Structure 1
């Protein structure tokens, strides 16, 4: 699946390119979300933003995963990143000329989401191609740490640029970072899978094969159930936290920036822990600790009456993200055979991209009827109950058993 010679150079180029591209994309994400929140102060508008940001990604991922298993994944990522940059450039030109209608901004967000639906499964499936299996958890931890560092720097940079120059310069910056990222990725050597050159199956056959494969793998099924629960009941409600800050604590841009910085500092520390002291811990144990923590911290957000206490619990949520996402991705990469990973990761993306807008479509309008605080408490309680139930499902018990054997047997072979 990957060669042992030159893999460190490949990983260094890959991580550097993805870091630069990710930095620009995250700045755009924060600024657009803040712009919508401050311009409208409407839960419905925030929900529409979430739908535009995630729903197209979920739909397109159905085909993006198939493409990732049929095409050279490096080329696919480069083309998708270029398309996202082009959409951003068009939006920048429109807004620079005074076109600031909400529907146009949301349309551009949706187009960027389409590109992410193609790019994300290919990136995740590419990692085990260029990283030896014995280094996979550590490299995933490093990738998560870099992601967390960018999540720390991006809101600070976004807040400074947004407050000083407005929204348009942020879009131009994203175009520049995308071009740099594409250039670095072009230098990464990614082996072509045999299936890419040999497959004669139709897209429909590939999709059905991917669904059947997931159905036959209890570990993958259970991971997707947990993933959906977290995004529906904890990630979606946290989209309302900027609205809670604006309504309950103040409308200054720095308040929203500090909210994201607190979350990102937690992610950064969690990523460091995952790439060092937690790298050898049980993946399933880390996942369960994180998901229960998400539910409890979401409840605590709703109970917070002090802005800095509120920031503290956002820090805790950020801290728990790497112990959830890193072992989750590593288990998928270790469990799923290489020729199926693009399709499996496409379904992971679909779950994330559909659960988030579904949740915000519910929580957004409700936030215009009841307080965000009540919504966060209710969602956190529901998340804890749902995870406790999921851990007792047959697939949950099978995953626990597989995790105990992970040191001596591949997960895919240890689960009947």
Structure 2
């Protein structure tokens, strides 16, 4: 497919800061973005309804915790395998298959809720199927974007995607409140699943309208060679990653940020012990996403960044410092403001990391490396939750929260100084 070059227009001063929407002039990308935005909002209803239903069935938080395991294990396995498949088949067809499986799993959740099956095990199975579909779809979708937009608009396209994702993550849980207030719990759960199932059709429509996206020829392969899908293909992806220090360091610095400085698991205790409970818990959980949303809406400058590696490092350092300071604050408004600042820095780092990956990796490797990226961004925060909870048990909440943020900032600076390839990386002209 020939990428559409947006027409040059005089830039107004406000446009230097406002979110860059030029990728939306490209029809295929615009449809994909609209479909993802609507379906992400819909998925937020399911993300609330599933733990609510599980707790209603079991009255046991252990079973609710098992939902995280049921979602993480398929993600780790099929994220890598799905990325390998995306490098050797038509990506439109693979995304359509993964999206169809995702939709089917949501319909399964709806049916079991309507029929009142009341099976915790079935809920775990359906969550695992949904996670499998996401693990295949996510790296495929990200590997498609560089085939739809010109390279200079990749940061803008990634910012648009990340901003709408965080908006959905904020708005959907808020929208479930009236549903659970208006109906009894079993009915409200079914309604939430139904909303997700209906809205997800937008993603199916957008995927169906994509052009054919067969794999591009591998210049290193011999004539007539057919790429294989399997363990060897996954290993080849890791071998390529080991020889690409810029990409390897971008993954490493994200793991540092998420594992050492993710404070989510401390929010419930801090809300009660420091702020007396009530609405504090909602503000804490929404603060990072709020900052990311505001950062996205004022992200026009990101597309003009040439020293992408250096700004990525600075964004991670900013994330760590803001998290550390928020852990020491004892006024709710200040904690929320600092976490929002951290969320804004996280948006910058996520956009630049994704843009570097999409440009630096050849098309024949993009699916596999996006699979690794999916595992990193999904596994890092979960390990961070474990790290923060264990640290609080041994050293107290403030030390686990603030100390983790400070450790992330220091280690990010150290990594950039010892291995300068990432900080020296510049976006291609």
Q: TM-score, normalised by structure 2?
A: 0.82
The superposition leaves residues 293-334 of structure 1 with CA deviations (integer Å, 9 ceiling, x where unpaired) of 221222233323333333223322222222111111001111
* Aligned equivalent of 2:126, options 108, 112, 122: 108
| Corresponding residue number in structure 1 for 2:302 | 278
Give 1:127 shift.
0.2
When structure 1 is superposed on structure 2, of 316-325 and 306-315 the one drifting more is 306-315
Q: Is the CA contact 2:310–2:425 (under 8 Å) kept in the aligned structure 1?
A: no
- CA distance in structure 2 between the aligned counterparts of 1:247 and 1:54, rounded to whole angstroms: 30
SS in 2 for 1:201: coil
Q: Is the CA contact 2:259–2:387 (under 8 Å) kept in the aligned structure 1?
A: no
Q: Is the CA contact 1:54–1:356 (under 8 Å) kept in the aligned structure 2?
A: no
SS in 1 for 2:303: coil
- CA distance in structure 2 between the aligned counterparts of 1:243 and 1:173, rounded to whole angstroms: 32
Distance 1:294 1:402, change over 3 A: closer
- CA distance in structure 2 between the aligned counterparts of 1:59 and 1:292, rounded to whole angstroms: 30
- CA distance in structure 2 between the aligned counterparts of 1:372 and 1:388, rounded to whole angstroms: 25
SS in 2 for 1:192: coil
2:45 is equivalent to residue 27 of structure 1: yes
The superposition leaves residues 146-200 of structure 1 with CA deviations (integer Å, 9 ceiling, x where unpaired) of 2233233223213333444443322221111112210122112243223499634
2:341 is equivalent to residue 316 of structure 1: yes
* Aligned equivalent of 1:177, options 193, 199, 205: 199
* Structure 2: tracts of 5 or more residues without a match: 7-24, 219-223
- CA distance in structure 2 between the aligned counterparts of 1:82 and 1:259, rounded to whole angstroms: 35
* Aligned equivalent of 1:399, options 410, 422, 426: 422
| Corresponding residue number in structure 2 for 1:238 | 264
Write the mapping of 1:28-43 to structure 2, written as runs, cut at 5 A: 28-32=46-50
When structure 1 is superposed on structure 2, of 114-123 and 309-318 the one drifting more is 309-318
Q: Is the CA contact 2:49–2:193 (under 8 Å) kept in the aligned structure 1?
A: no
Give 1:48 shift.
4.2
Give 1:25 shift.
1.6
Q: TM-score, normalised by structure 1?
A: 0.84
| Corresponding residue number in structure 2 for 1:380 | 405
- CA distance in structure 2 between the aligned counterparts of 1:215 and 1:129, rounded to whole angstroms: 25
| Corresponding residue number in structure 1 for 2:107 | 89
Give 1:99 shift.
5.4
2:98 is equivalent to residue 80 of structure 1: yes
Which structure is larger by alpha-carbon Rg, 1 or 2? Answer: 2
2:354 is equivalent to residue 336 of structure 1: no
* Structure 1: tracts of 5 or more residues without a match: 409-416
When structure 1 is superposed on structure 2, of 45-54 and 292-301 the one drifting more is 45-54
Distance 1:206 1:53, change over 3 A: same
Give 1:18 shift.
1.0
2:114 is equivalent to residue 66 of structure 1: no
* Aligned equivalent of 1:133, options 130, 151, 157: 151
- CA distance in structure 2 between the aligned counterparts of 1:172 and 1:125, rounded to whole angstroms: 30
Write the mapping of 1:346-365 to structure 2, written as runs, cut at 5 A: 346-364=371-389
Distance 1:195 1:316, change over 3 A: same
Number of equivalenced pairs? 400
Q: Is the CA contact 1:2–1:131 (under 8 Å) kept in the aligned structure 2?
A: no
The superposition leaves residues 57-114 of structure 1 with CA deviations (integer Å, 9 ceiling, x where unpaired) of 1221120111111222122222222222222332333344555566554443333222
Give 1:266 shift.
1.4
- CA distance in structure 2 between the aligned counterparts of 1:33 and 1:387, rounded to whole angstroms: 35
Q: Is the CA contact 2:152–2:303 (under 8 Å) kept in the aligned structure 1?
A: no
Q: Is the CA contact 1:51–1:361 (under 8 Å) kept in the aligned structure 2?
A: no
Q: Is the CA contact 1:46–1:240 (under 8 Å) kept in the aligned structure 2?
A: no
* Aligned equivalent of 2:230, options 200, 203, 207: 203
